[in-house]
């Protein structure tokens, strides 16, 4: 005997199952990618890169005050680049619905669940 709303429950179960499989499949590649992206921001490496940048500027005759400002911008840029990459890579643009195989934005999936469709 089926219960009222059983279709939606089944849809949610299928969606969660698909999400679980997807997470298991991407866990290791995502870990490696994150480590690769974060490598340039590790303390010692980042410090060496920033110091080398500053020393190069000074060595090329850039005034100390300008070199310090440019070095701050260099550091800020490195951090913002990684943040941007991580954000873009980890934010899904579309979700594939398991029942239909249809692609749609994550917001549409949430709206559909809230409306009781599925």
DSSP 1: -
The pTM is what?
Answer: 0.48
Return per-residue pLDDT of the chain as tens, 118 residues. Answer: 445 556 788 888 888 888 888 888 888 888 887 777 777 667 788 889 999 999 999 999 999 999 999 999 999 998 888 778 777 766 766 767 666 777 777 776 667 667 765 4
Confidence (pLDDT) at 38 = 73
Contacts of 72 (CB under 8 A, 6+ apart): none
Are 40 and 82 within 8 A, CB to CB?
Answer: yes
Closest CA to 82 of 116, 50, 35: 35
Model pLDDT, residue 92: 66
């Amino acid at each position: 005997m089926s219960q009222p709303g059983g279709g939606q429950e089944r849809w949610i179960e299928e969606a969660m199952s698909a999400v679980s499989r997807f997470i298991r499949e991407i866990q290791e590649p995502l870990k490696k990618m994150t480590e690769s992206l974060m490598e340039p921001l590790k303390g010692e490496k980042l410090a060496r890169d920033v110091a080398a940048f500053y020393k190069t500027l000074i060595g090329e005759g850039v005034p100390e005050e300008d070199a310090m400002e440019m070095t701050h911008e260099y550091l800020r840029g490195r951090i913002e680049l990684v943040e941007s990459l991580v954000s873009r890579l980890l934010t899904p643009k579309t979700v594939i619905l398991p029942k239909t195989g249809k692609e749609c934005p994550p917001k549409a999936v949430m709206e559909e669940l809230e409306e009781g469709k599925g």
